[in-house]
Structure 1
Amino acid sequence: MKEDVVVLTGKTLTIEEVVRVARHNAKVEFHPEAQATCEKSREFVYRLAESNIPVYGFTTGVGANKDKKVEAAYYNEYNVSLVRSHCVAVGPEATLAEVRAMMVIRLNTLLLGNTGMSPAIAVMYRDMLNKEVTPVVPERGSIGEADIACLSHIALTMIGEGQAYYKGEKMAASAALAKAGLEPVMLGPKDGLALVSSNALAAGQGSLVLYDIAKLVELADIIYSFSLEAFKGNVSPLHEEVNRIRPFKGQNESAAHVRALLTGSYLWIPGIADALQDPLSFRCACHIHGAVRDALRYVEDLMKIQLNSSDDNPCVLIEQNAILSCGNFEPVSWAIGFEMLGIALSHLSKAACFRTIKLSSEYFSGLPRFLSPDPDHVIAFGTIQKPFTALDAEIRHLANPVSMDFYAVAGNIEDHANNTPYVVQKTRKIIDNLYYILGIEAMHAAQACDLRQEPEFKLGVAGQVVYRKIREAVPFLAKDRNLTIDIANAYELLKSGVIQQELSHLSGV
């Protein structure tokens, strides 16, 4: 089998490539031109320093210590001290995949040549990724104006200190490097600042979150279509012309997707629906899912810029023969975008919860209360509303914006922040909760399908697959049992991606 390799140019990295490196251990290589640019940048900064022009983080301290001069004889000592002093993050640990995502993103931006760091550092990033040396990185402690408190732990591994994983086994960083056949790096001028000062933690975790949201919204369409069949719902809101005259892109994508999923369904029989109009959680599902799609597209476009642009301060401009202080470490544009995504996902969650409640309501579904197969003796789904509404309450809380909550720090000179890592991390938690909520909705839909007695009842091409996979994980509820086990099984099934894989031949899945 041909080895998967991602070639880094500094300008073309995609979210999908980040996922390949982070989760599937794809190897990385430098494009020759990118490597040459990195080397040229380093030579330029050395020439500048020799001319006695102060260079922030190179010949001076950082933050409030920008007025402190760093003598050439102490370059290594100062940069090692900078790395150690910036290791102030707290747990839990970021996952191995998340750390690998941080590393490949930071490596890609270094190749743009706007950093002026030693090319040996770029080589170290590459070799650690390819030989599966993954630093232990506590994920909390960054306020978002560059993730210095967390990324310093990657730098710590590079100098042979702290802890790291080697091929998944946790050990001292020095031992991990030795097992991989790597030597600790010798930090030179500006290397410490370049290693710790970027948005790579938030961008790494954020890239994986965006990838997962794209998968989640496809799954939400699938579970909704299955619920609509179980509910004996009205398909008129899915009509192509109805959606065409409301040309929001996300709405039309979800509507087209759901129409394809319902191919062959009994719902297309004229007059089959009992109600002229369904509750809004059913009628507006494609509009709600479409809002997530539209928000996702907006943030993906911003993330592509982040992945392929310099967030360094100061910024090396070789063509202009200058190195300038700047604020390019400010990610507030896409931090706000993630806040928007959290709000959109909260709407998706709420609609799923209301659909689930409606499925177990005899007034709306025409089926026994709480989908009991024996209302006199089986309680069935009488209590399960509590956990999924509790999970939705968590999502509602997590969707509250936090990007504007910050202090002025570093001697009052750093008086803006955005909390982007936490913004991303709470969005990640929303996704996890939604797998439970959609899993419980799928359990209800499968039970409703089993209880339907209409002679015309027939699931569409997608519904047949979803029903089969749900029933493999969660049997028909004939008698009351421990539903915690069923909920966990439905969650694992949906999170595995098996359903999407089986439906991959359908348009949009």
Structure 2
Amino acid sequence: MYKTLVLDGKSLTIEEIVQVARNERKVAISDEALEKLKKGRKMVQQWIDNDAPVYGLNRGVGLNKDRLVEKERFSQYNRNLLLSHSIGVGPETTIEDVRAAMLARLNTLLVGCTGIQPEIAQMYETFLNCGITPVIPSRGTVGAADIGILSHIGLAMIGEGEVYYKGNRVPVMEAFKEEKLSPMILGPKDGLAIVSSNAYSAGMAAILLQDLDDFIEMADAIYSLSLEGLDGNLDPLDESVLKFRPFNGQMKSADRVRKFLRNSYLWNRKEKTSIQDPLSFRGGFTVHGAALDSLEYVKGLLTIQLNSSDDNPCLIVEEERIVHTANFEVITLVFALEMVGLALTHVSRNSCFRTIKLANPAFTNLTRFLSPDEEQVIAFSTIQKTFSALDAEIRHLSNPVVSDYFPLAGDIEDHATNSALVIQKLRKMLDNLYYIVGIEAIHAAQAVDLRKGAKLGVGTGAVYEMIREQIPFLDKDRNLSIDIEWAYQLVKSKRLLKHIQKAIES
């Protein structure tokens, strides 16, 4: 059971985003942050009587930045802003992604630079704690603030649209009635503050990075079992030699592999069957380590994004100023996310190469395609086409889309990042990787069995045990699609990860 997460606009972590999005951890706005919101709102009210033009306050947005918004039209204008910006298309965003977006936006509101009504921030808090999740589309943002997506959350707050509530999809007013809530009545600057942020992309990125972290740990474990299946040489994992080039990621990956292989027969052989293994085995931990390094870099940037204002204009309450900004620009973060895609192509290709070599007697001194009987059983001869096709998709998805954008809104908005699309394609790459490393795990377990009694490591033994619970030794030809799906679910569900971690801890 988690303690209530107290939000202050400056200390939200990626792990906490995941806890709230997936595990329904409760949230609360800190007293200090609420006071900031009140001061910012007071400043907005004072600014209303100032004739100076302010974007999204007394002037329109986009190309309409020169259109006057009269005081008596503030409520209607902000409502219209939400409606006109509700432009997303399907498929629907998942509940956990919407929750992550709401939390990300709530925390950035608490930085205190929007001037939004404090009651709207409290509505985000209520939605999260009561399990009211707006139904929003997943596409329609170009990554220059997610205005076409976040507007749909705003609609729910003013009593329009549908939400998921207590396991059902219902009109938002039904949820409001049961929770004794009233729709928000918008005032000056509220509409822009709701729609103009990168919270949708930031929330999705947080969940993605957590899943990628978990995946690389599982990939390390399966790679370790493949080393045992190959009868591999462990010299490259020697901690002493790695200290001469101590990249953080590869040190972490190598350390995990050594732990997974603790007590393995590979450490105790008098003679090594190979001086140099293929690079996909010899340096698999370096590829995984590079992926870890890229993830750490992105995590640092995302943590900044989750705890900073991306608002335009920005209220600087201490200086009693409203400043027009480019703080909504997330190009630095998106560049880093594209880098992660390149890292995943190497993780994928290395796994494929290891699987191919495990089926090749020239590298293993085992049977062709790991057959238990080469005369009677075809075994894994054609499964290579499956992971080859999946890897081709990953290679295609690694092509950058950050540079594909149009000048919009009368040519005034002439830069974008496609941030959400970058994250969505990374998710597809990860999903393919669950299959690819699952197939590697099937091969590694078969190779280990053909070695007849080879003593496995603490972690690799746990991997083998989980595989064999669902997928028996291939003693005769069968429908391999069923085995592949079992392996995929084992990796994706993270049941394999939990079992490995438990084995290592004990």
Q: TM-score, normalised by structure 1?
A: 0.97
Runs of 4+ in 1 over 4 A off after TM superposition: 505-509
Q: Is the 8 A contact 1:261 1:506 kept in 2?
A: no
> Which one of the candidate residues 469, 472, 478 is aligned to 1:472?
469
Structure 2 gap segments, 5+ residues each = none
Residue 318 of structure 2 aligns to a residue in which SS? coil
Cross-structure match for 1:499: 496
Are 2:418 and 1:393 aligned?
A: no
Alignment map for 1:187-226 (pairs within 5 Å): 187-226=186-225
Separation (CA, whole Å) in 1 of partners of 2:396 and 2:162: 34
Are 2:162 and 1:157 aligned?
A: no
Separation (CA, whole Å) in 1 of partners of 2:272 and 2:36: 64
Cross-structure match for 2:424: 425
Deviation of 1:506 after TM superposition, in Å, equals 6.8
Are 2:461 and 1:483 aligned?
A: no
Q: Is the 8 A contact 2:44 2:188 kept in 1?
A: no
1:251-292 Cα shifts (integer Å, max 9, x gaps): 111111111111000001244431111000001111100100
Cross-structure match for 2:252: 253
Alignment map for 1:69-468 (pairs within 5 Å): 69-453=68-452, 457-468=454-465
1:97-123 Cα shifts (integer Å, max 9, x gaps): 010000001000101110001111001
Deviation of 1:500 after TM superposition, in Å, equals 2.1
Letter in 2 for 1:484: S
Residue 55 of structure 2 aligns to a residue in which SS? coil
Q: Is the 8 A contact 1:166 1:180 kept in 2?
A: no
Q: Is the 8 A contact 2:86 2:151 kept in 1?
A: yes
Deviation of 1:165 after TM superposition, in Å, equals 0.6
Deviation of 1:365 after TM superposition, in Å, equals 1.1
Deviation of 1:410 after TM superposition, in Å, equals 0.4
Residue 275 of structure 2 aligns to a residue in which SS? coil
Q: Is the 8 A contact 2:91 2:138 kept in 1?
A: yes
Q: Is the 8 A contact 1:349 1:392 kept in 2?
A: yes
405-414 vs 48-57, which moves further: 48-57
Cross-structure match for 2:31: 32
Q: Is the 8 A contact 1:166 1:179 kept in 2?
A: no
Q: Is the 8 A contact 2:458 2:504 kept in 1?
A: no
Q: Is the 8 A contact 2:462 2:503 kept in 1?
A: no
Q: Is the 8 A contact 1:110 1:122 kept in 2?
A: yes
Separation (CA, whole Å) in 2 of partners of 1:140 and 1:273: 54
Residue 81 of structure 1 aligns to a residue in which SS? helix
Letter in 2 for 1:73: E
113-122 vs 169-178, which moves further: 169-178
Q: Is the 8 A contact 2:458 2:503 kept in 1?
A: no
- Percentage identity across paired residues of the two chains: 53
1:435-477 Cα shifts (integer Å, max 9, x gaps): 1111100000111111114x6x211111211111000111111
Residue 501 of structure 2 aligns to a residue in which SS? coil
Q: Is the 8 A contact 1:264 1:461 kept in 2?
A: yes
CA spacing shift, 1:146–1:276, aligned 2, 3 Å: same
1:391-418 Cα shifts (integer Å, max 9, x gaps): 1111111111110110000000001111
Residue 486 of structure 1 aligns to a residue in which SS? helix
Q: How many residues are matched?
A: 506
Separation (CA, whole Å) in 2 of partners of 1:423 and 1:128: 27
Structure 1 gap segments, 5+ residues each = none
Separation (CA, whole Å) in 2 of partners of 1:3 and 1:357: 44
Q: Is the 8 A contact 2:359 2:370 kept in 1?
A: yes
Deviation of 1:505 after TM superposition, in Å, equals 5.2
Q: Is the 8 A contact 2:371 2:380 kept in 1?
A: yes
Deviation of 1:39 after TM superposition, in Å, equals 0.8
Residue 503 of structure 1 aligns to a residue in which SS? helix
Letter in 1 for 2:466: K
Residue 369 of structure 2 aligns to a residue in which SS? helix
Deviation of 1:181 after TM superposition, in Å, equals 2.7
Separation (CA, whole Å) in 2 of partners of 1:253 and 1:31: 36
Separation (CA, whole Å) in 1 of partners of 2:128 and 2:264: 48
Are 2:55 and 1:53 aligned?
A: no
Deviation of 1:508 after TM superposition, in Å, equals 9.8
Separation (CA, whole Å) in 2 of partners of 1:413 and 1:57: 15
Deviation of 1:135 after TM superposition, in Å, equals 0.7
Deviation of 1:141 after TM superposition, in Å, equals 0.9
Q: Is the 8 A contact 1:257 1:508 kept in 2?
A: no
Q: TM-score, normalised by structure 2?
A: 0.98
